[in-house]
Amino acid sequence: MHAVHLTFTKRSQIDAPKGKSSSKHSYGDLGWSGAFEMLINLRGMGMKWGMPSSKLPAVYKHFISETLLEMLKHHVIYLTAMAALTRLSQYNASDVIGRDVAMTFSLWCIAWSSLTLMYSMITLCVYITTKLCGKPFDKNRWPPMFGNPIAADSVRTFWNNKWQCMYRRHFMICGYEPVFNLIKALRIPGDIPHYCGLIGAFTVSGILHEYCARSTSRTLFIEEFPAFKVFIIHALVIILENELYKFTGRKVSGIFGSLWTFAIVIFISNPMCRFNLQGLGPMPDFAEWDTWRWFVPLSV
């Protein structure tokens, strides 16, 4: 996907920054540094093709202190979710009411916290390295990886600006744009091209997650497609939310929107999470963890 992303990104979109930035880097000549940044700068920070600031979480005002605080918060979330997962995995679904829902919620929390921790550690490494080399560090190029997924009050909001969007443009180029342009070329009117493109983007995402789930579980050949189904259903739910707004004038939002989003994200994901847990195999209870693992991020 990244090869397609690089191929279909025009040179003019790489060369010049998208807007004003305190960074002193120049993209007049892509060179090795520019090529390397294209490989790691998945959101295109400082480039014309990059994510608009409205789609990104706000940059930390006090960068180091807030980054460290965020790491501490997500370390606690990660440990709590892992502890719940290891304890619940020892019971059958019939033994504990809501076991599958709790385990699915725990897996989403683990994904959220582990990715945030990894991103924060990389950010700190870049910050320390640039300071040691006497170069400026542009915090505007390092906004948080996630918004606040728990605050999402619609499935559209969840995927649009609350969950991480590192591969948003990859899915747009590989899934949305080919389908959208094809349907548009057939002169099909209305929102159908957009909706078909949306399904195309989620299809690519579903295929990627399905492949990853099968690879990690060492079960490549099964009849069902749990991860793929989740993303297709989410695309259809977003279309439903858009149509609901079109016909009623009311957006999915507020407390009922939050409950709706929680129900869709968690309950629809149950089969996918069960499949992922099968691949993980038996997990030792958190009571058996070594003491040092409670203090070292991502050590369990």
- The closest alpha carbon to 183, from 195, 170, 172, belongs to 195
Q: Which amino acid is at 232?
A: I
Same-domain status, 111 and 33: no
Does residue 187 lie in a domain region? yes
Q: Note down the domain range covering 41.
A: 2-50
Same-domain status, 108 and 40: no
What residues in the chain have per-residue pLDDT under 50?
A: 16-29
Do residues 169 and 7 touch, judged by C-beta distance below 8 A? no
Question: What digits encode the pLDDT tens for the residues 245-290?
Answer: 999 989 999 999 999 999 999 999 998 888 888 777 778 889 899 9
Position 221 scores a pLDDT of 60
Same-domain status, 166 and 264: yes
Please state, in angstroms and as integers, the Cα–Cα distance from residue 208 to each residue in 105, 171, 202, 203, 228, following that order.
21, 10, 10, 9, 8
Does residue 292 lie in a domain region? no
Same-domain status, 82 and 15: no
Please count the CA atoms within 13 angstroms of the CA of 262 that sit on its side-chain side: 13
Same-domain status, 255 and 275: yes
Long-range contacts of 297-300, Cβ-Cβ distance < 8 Å, separation of 24 or more: 297/71, 297/75, 297/78, 297/117, 297/121, 298/78, 298/114, 298/117, 298/118, 300/79, 300/82
Does residue 56 lie in a domain region? no
Same-domain status, 12 and 92: no
Domain boundary among 99, 116, 145: 145
Domain boundary among 121, 145, 169: 145
Question: What digits encode the pLDDT tens for the residues 134-177?
Answer: 888 888 888 899 989 999 999 999 998 899 888 888 888 889 99
Position 19 scores a pLDDT of 42
Structural domain count, the chain: 3
Do residues 171 and 198 touch, judged by C-beta distance below 8 A? no
